[in-house]
Amino acid sequence: MTARDTTRRPGRWAAATFVEHVGSDGVVVRRGSRRHRKHQMPPTGSTWWAPTARGWWIAVLFAVGSLLFAMGSIPGYADAVGARGDTVTYFVGSLFFTSASLLSYREVVDASSTAQNPHGRRFLVYQPRRIDWWATAVQLVGTIYFNISTGIAMADNLSAETAHQHVWRPDAIGSLCFLVSSALAWYEVCHGWLAWRPRVWSWWITLTNLIGSVAFGVSAVAGFVNPVTGQVKNADGADTQTLIGSICFFVGAVLLFPERTEKAPP
């Protein structure tokens, strides 16, 4: 089966949320772009164990990264492991997020049609008419900002200006990227901004991720670092929102497992 873009649906993004499969017999099957890329090949392994499948690794990496972020924001964890241990936990979690995001981006690239990727590139592509390309590319950028923020936070004796410029600001940008990415992923699944599809795994996945991204955004606002005094606006509130967002991301990651092996709808 080959794939080509659907361009007959009205709206700026609506066309990008569908693709058409054209079989050798000429029969065209139209389905959502998310399902197209998530089910390019028949699923291998079982729902919960498939180490040869990229989709399985995406779920595992996102789940581990979410757990580490949740762990770092649990009240009392920083007291138990120390400030440095807490920042290391966040940094390692951000690396898992970046790894999962990179695989998600590659998943989108590999689902490209020949028209979309005529040179057969594996990574550096530009596909502005694809909503899934924007969602995964923006998410990947956001994870890199989290790498920067959590990495610099591990340093000792940061000045107030450095903490503001190189810890809080990258964190805020990363949170904004996650919010934009999650909103685009939600639109892709719903084929619009509103939909009620509780029987569809992808609907729950994008919903929980969107809620988690909102929580991360609130955390970034609460975690504002004063560039003069170095004081955090609301450290407890930032930790609470990070914990809520991380739990949501963990739930979304776990739901990726059954989505990978779900049967195609008629």
Per-residue model confidence as pLDDT tens digits over 74-92: 999 999 999 999 999 999 9
Mean pLDDT computed over 7-30:
62
pTM higher than 0.75 for the full model?
Answer: yes
Taking the mean position of all CA atoms in its chain, how far away is CA 115?
26
Task: Give me the pLDDT at residue 14, please.
Answer: 55
Q: Could you give the CA distance from residue 161 to residue 39 in angstroms, rounded to a whole number?
A: 47
Task: Give me the pLDDT at residue 12, please.
Answer: 54
**pLDDT at position 1 over 60:** no
Task: Give me the pLDDT at residue 252, please.
Answer: 98
Task: Give me the pLDDT at residue 24, please.
Answer: 60
Which DSSP string corresponds to 129-156?
A: T-HHHHHHHHHHHHHHHHHHHHHHHTSS
Element containing residue 4 per DSSP (H, E): strand 2-5
Q: Helix or strand or coil: residue 91?
A: helix
Mean pLDDT computed over 99-120:
87
Chain mean pLDDT for the chain:
90
Taking the mean position of all CA atoms in its chain, how far away is CA 250?
11
Task: Give me the pLDDT at residue 93, please.
Answer: 98
Mean pLDDT computed over 116-127:
80
- Could you tell me if 35 and 48 are in contact, meaning their C-beta atoms sit under 8 angstroms apart? no
| Percent of the chain whose predicted confidence (pLDDT) is above 90 | 74
- Could you tell me if 216 and 241 are in contact, meaning their C-beta atoms sit under 8 angstroms apart? yes
Bridge partners of 29, per DSSP, are 21
Mean pLDDT computed over 98-120:
88
Sheet holding 18-22, edge to edge: 2-5, 18-22, 28-32
Task: Quick: pLDDT tens for 240-266.
Answer: 999 999 999 999 999 999 999 998 665
Task: Quick: pLDDT tens for 154-184.
Answer: 998 899 999 999 999 999 999 999 999 999 9
Mean pLDDT computed over 40-64:
95
Task: Give me the pLDDT at residue 5, please.
Answer: 40
Q: Could you give the CA distance from residue 260 to residue 55 in angstroms, rounded to a whole number?
A: 7
Element containing residue 20 per DSSP (H, E): strand 18-22
For residues 171 and 29, the model is more confident at 171
pLDDT range class, residue 2, cuts 50, 70, 90: very low
